[in-house]
Amino acid sequence: MPIHFKTYILEDSTYKGGSKKIVMPEGMNVHKLSSNENPLGYSPKVRKVLKATLDDLSQYPDNTDIRLRQALVKDFKQELTEDHFITANSGSEIIDMISKAFLKKDDEVIVSQPCFLPYTAFTRWMGATATNVPMTSDYDYDLDGILNAVKPHTKLIFLASPNNPSGNYIPEDDLNAFLNKVPGHVIVVLDEVYRHFVEASDYSTGLPFVKQNKNVIAVNSFSKTYGLAGLRVGYCYAPLHISNYMRKICKPFLLSSLALEGAIAALEDVEFVQSTVDLVRKEREFVLRGLSALHIKYWPTQGNFVMIQPPIPDMELVHLLEQKGIMVRAVGNFGAPGKIRISFGTREANKALLEALETIIKLKTVTT
């Protein structure tokens, strides 16, 4: 008898992350603005802790993540308990855990494209179906459309605020009104990994709604603000009736020693976090002002990136910028065909980006 392979796993649903750093001729800088990484790197305090941890790599790490969850309680000003938190190897793995915990074959989830690819890929791995309720032409959520799309087999609704790759967010009043209408059999997964960079006064994380015991799981990551993308650490928080259930599928020794110690140290270095936030907000304003001067259309953003409508075909611009040592990302596979996402880097990187765009635009104007 032949091996039975699940057809929904055989489908081409593999999540592919951003590209590795390109190699340029000696003496030419490369500015990687394609993966929303921290332009400052990571905290010196984390570096010190990681070096000290290297001596103990022959030993198993902590059996549980309790010390990291206790550090998260402190970071959240004691508004949640350690039992509200679940940690994992990246925000993506948190999404994978949510899918495994709540989805089975023929279940449904709702996404709104453009969106982070694992929402749909991980759904397919479980044999479930993702229903797309597209964002509006201004890249806002169609919250009424999402509610109308809910069916008896709908188990999850994926929202992101700010959203990757579009940069939009959901105002608190809109989110509150929406959650009050979501049926009781549905969980809202609120991806808030870019929350630190938001300046909008009407923004809200999932915290007040989790404290109200609503069916909300708020997803976070150490890859962006904390600059630990290479360590792969993420977490979520949720009401206890959800988090205690999810903890039943947590593995022992889940986090490596480096990940565990690095994440705890990162939470403690509030000065580094603030420096990152200040830089991103300052450079966001600089880049958006530069894009406006070049008459390049972009969408308002509260993240550490911006989505643009390139003046030439998306992949052509990606390749032309790569020739100048600048990496950006086309996001057609996110559900935004023809658009490009650009991360905010250091001032040096952002100036190089804008100068390269200006050169490319002038060159194309001359040749046409």
What are the pLDDT digits (tens) for 135-145? 999 999 999 99
Residue 313 covered by a domain: yes
For 279, the domain range is: 18-42+271-367
Same domain, 145 and 92: yes
Q: Which residues of the chain fall below pLDDT 70?
A: 1, 10-28, 365-368
Give the end of a domain, one of 268, 285, 301: 268
Residue 63 covered by a domain: yes
CA 65 – CA 188 distance, rounded (Å): 24
Same domain, 158 and 238: yes
Same domain, 72 and 104: yes
Give the end of a domain, one of 268, 295, 322: 268
Same domain, 141 and 160: yes
Same domain, 276 and 363: yes
CATH code for position 347: 3.90.1150.10
pLDDT at res. 305: 98
Give the end of a domain, one of 234, 268, 302: 268
Residue 120 covered by a domain: yes
Same domain, 232 and 320: no
The pTM (predicted TM-score) of the whole model is 0.93
CB 304 within 8 A of CB 282: no
What are the pLDDT digits (tens) for 253-269? 789 999 999 999 999 99
CA 296 – CA 336 distance, rounded (Å): 16
The total of structural domains in the chain comes to: 2
Residue 8 covered by a domain: no
Residue 7 covered by a domain: no
pLDDT at res. 251: 83
pLDDT at res. 24: 53
Same domain, 151 and 276: no
Same domain, 34 and 53: no
pLDDT at res. 351: 98
